[in-house]
Amino acid sequence: MERLLSADEVAEFLGIPVATLYQWRHKGCGPDAYRVGRHLRYDPATVRAWLEEHLAVDRGVG
């Protein structure tokens, strides 16, 4: 099982500010996250799937 990623790690992976990631979560348009205690955690497979889906839409495939 892969370890869950922090918001900082996902933001770094996507090349965006952490604040953008939190805005996306608030708007319901970013990758799904899980609350573990006080912290948000992201499943790496979910983040990759979300990215692939958005890349496909940007390319006009999806």
Class of the 5-58 domain?
mainly alpha
Is the predicted pLDDT of residue 3 greater than 60, yes or no?
A: yes
Residue in 54, 59, 58 with CA at minimum distance from that of residue 14 = 54
3-state helix, strand, coil in the chain (%, to 5): 55, 15, 30
pLDDT band at residue 34 under the 50/70/90 scheme: very high
pTM over 0.75: yes
pLDDT band at 6 (very low <50, low <70, confident <90, very high): very high
Q: How far is CA 58 from CA 28, 40, 53, 61, in A?
A: 18, 27, 9, 8
pLDDT over 70 (residue 62) = no
Assess whether pLDDT exceeds 60 at residue 58.
yes
Q: How confident is the model at residue 42 (pLDDT cuts 50, 70, 90)?
A: very high
Domain boundaries, the chain: 5-58
